[in-house]
């Protein structure tokens, strides 16, 4: 049985929008779905968010999938970096994932600084899966499309660019995620 973990973005929650739609669709298909409310969501810290996953995810295997939105994508990568070498997962979907942000305030820049400037070991991440999908929007005010090149280069991710979806905050469904997990 497939198990799917949904990790929301900065300032987000486990409820609403395409998360609710995806939970419902995956549950209909007899998959286990977990969506966590991450700690201190307005001021996310790498250590706290990764520890939250380590504490709440008991086991992973080839039937385990992760779906992250925005900073949740970085959280998933940093979690996978720390997994023991022999642990494999089925795949990962990154929605509006980023390594750099645009159009943010000075306060947001301070919060984002550790996320942007703490290195990620992509080789360690790829030990756990080679099945990555990244979904971007051509009008995301925070995440430039050039971020997709990094995901493709560093992780071999398949890239999908959607039209006029912004940062996916007001999106009700993203069919490509369901297709990726169900396949």
Q: Where are the domains of the chain?
A: 3-182
Q: Does domain 3-182 have CATH number 3.30.930.10?
A: no
CA dihedral 107, 110, 112, 116 (to 10 degrees): 150
Query: 80: Cβ–Cβ under 8 A, 6 or more apart, which residues?
Result: 66, 89, 92, 124, 125, 128, 129
pTM above 0.95, yes or no: yes
Tokens of 56: 């709440």
pLDDT in tens, the chain (183 residues): 999 999 999 999 999 999 999 999 999 999 999 999 999 999 999 999 999 999 999 999 999 999 999 999 999 999 999 999 999 999 999 999 999 999 999 999 999 999 999 999 999 999 999 999 999 999 999 999 999 999 999 999 999 999 999 999 999 999 999 999 998
């Amino acid at each position: 049985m497939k198990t799917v973990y949904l990790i929301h973005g900065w300032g987000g929650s486990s409820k609403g929008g395409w998360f609710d739609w995806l939970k419902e669709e995956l549950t209909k298909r007899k998959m286990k779905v977990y969506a966590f409310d991450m700690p201190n969501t307005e001021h996310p810290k790498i250590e706290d968010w990764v520890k939250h996953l380590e504490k709440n995810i008991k086991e992973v295997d080839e039937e385990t999938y992760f779906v992250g939105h925005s900073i949740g994508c970085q959280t998933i990568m940093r979690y996978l970096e720390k997994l023991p070498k022999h642990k494999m997962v089925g795949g990962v979907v990154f929605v509006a994932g980023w390594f750099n942000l645009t159009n943010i305030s000075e306060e947001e820049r301070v919060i984002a600084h550790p996320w942007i400037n703490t290195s990620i070991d992509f080789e360690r991440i790829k030990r756990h899966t080679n099945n990555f999908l990244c979904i971007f929007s051509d009008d995301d005010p925070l995440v430039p499309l050039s971020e997709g090149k990094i995901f493709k280069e560093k992780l071999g991710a398949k890239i999908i660019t959607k039209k006029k979806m912004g940062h996916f905050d007001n999106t009700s469904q993203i069919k490509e995620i369901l297709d990726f997990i169900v396949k």
